[in-house]
A and B are shown apart, each in its own frame.
Chain A
Amino acid sequence: MEWESDEKELKATGAEALGGGRRGLRIGGWEIESRNHSILTSFVLQEWHAVASWTWDAQDETCGICRMDFDGCCPDCKLPGDDCPLIWGSCNHAFHLHCILKWVNSQTPQAHCPMCRREWQFKG
């Protein structure tokens, strides 16, 4: 875990960095320091602000099978992102991996793309 701090942000919350190569901060008379692993095993998140966002590079916004947002996840998953990836066919249509697998596995011998009916092949 990389320790990074922003002096301004720390000061704004009434805290200051420990300094001297130590990774942590001093606030309200307490010193909170991180060694190899975090000393905090649980905490309540009171405020956060995003500094970056991500999105899948897909043309449609929703999966044609489950109709959920691509930036969300399929109905079987809880978390979007790496746990519920998108997958493209050779026809360039994208679906949640879990959704297209359910369709492909239910079709014998050959599955077709739900959008364009071309033979479904995973894009290499």
Chain B
Amino acid sequence: MTSPSASSRKALSKIACNRLQKELVEWQVNPPAGFKHKVTDNLQRWIIEVTGAPGTLYAGETYQLQVDFPEHYPMEAPQVIFVPPAPPHPHIYSNGHICLDILYDSWSPAMTVSSICISLLSMLSSSPAKQRPADNDRYVKNCKNGRSPKETRWWFHDDKV
């Protein structure tokens, strides 16, 4: 699966660059518990390793997140997906797309990569069962050609997980 390739994305604006550098420094000083940022020289795509919290269904398991930043971050949300294999979860599709409102309609420019990570870990930790969303196969089939989850019209119906 591919997301929009690095070459087709527009370079970060000055504001985006500035903010991301600040976030990176803040992350190095105070990383969110359970997350490791894999250092690369690409500010526009972060690869982050997440480890399931102790006492949850995903305890000790590790997964990779891919965070791609748009030109006008933070006015626009980053694209956040799990690099397959994605954790089996009622809101995470097998292609890595995540159904979480803050990544789409409820994004706010005051959020950070760190705050997204904390929300994702909380979402994993509150999972009642390791299972895929009911419409997984249909959704993933519709997402061929590397479509971004930001183009999906999400319907946020479940506020428990």
Contact = CB atoms under 8 A, between A and B. Distances in A.
Contact of B19 (A67, A112, A114): A67
Contacts of B110: 64-65, 114-115
B23 interface: yes
Given A65-B109, A103-B109, 10 more contacts: A64-B110, A67-B19, A74-B15, A75-B15, A76-B15, A102-B15, A106-B75, A106-B76, A115-B108, A117-B108
B23 A67 contact: yes
Nearest to A104: B75
Nearest to B20: A67
A58 interface: no
B149 interface: no
Interface string B16-27: 001100110000
A99 B75 CA distance: 9
B144 interface: no
Contacts of B23: 67
A32 interface: no
Interface in A53-109: 64-68, 74-76, 99, 102-103, 106
Contacts of A64: 109-110
Given A65-B74, A67-B23, A102-B75, A75 B108 contact: no
Contacts of A103: 75, 109
Contacts of B19: 66-67, 75
Contacts, number: 37
B14 interface: yes
Could you say which interface size class chain B belongs to? 10 to 19
Interface of B: 14-15, 18-19, 22-23, 72, 74-76, 106, 108-110
7 contacts: A64-B110, A66-B15, A67-B19, A67-B22, A99-B109, A114-B109, A117-B106
B22 A76 contact: no
Given A64-B110, A67-B22, A112-B108, A76 B14 contact: yes
A75, A76, A103, A106: most-surrounded residue (chain B CB, <10 A): A75
A101 B53 CA distance: 39
A112 B101 CA distance: 15
A63 to B, nearest CB: 9
A93 to B, nearest CB: 9
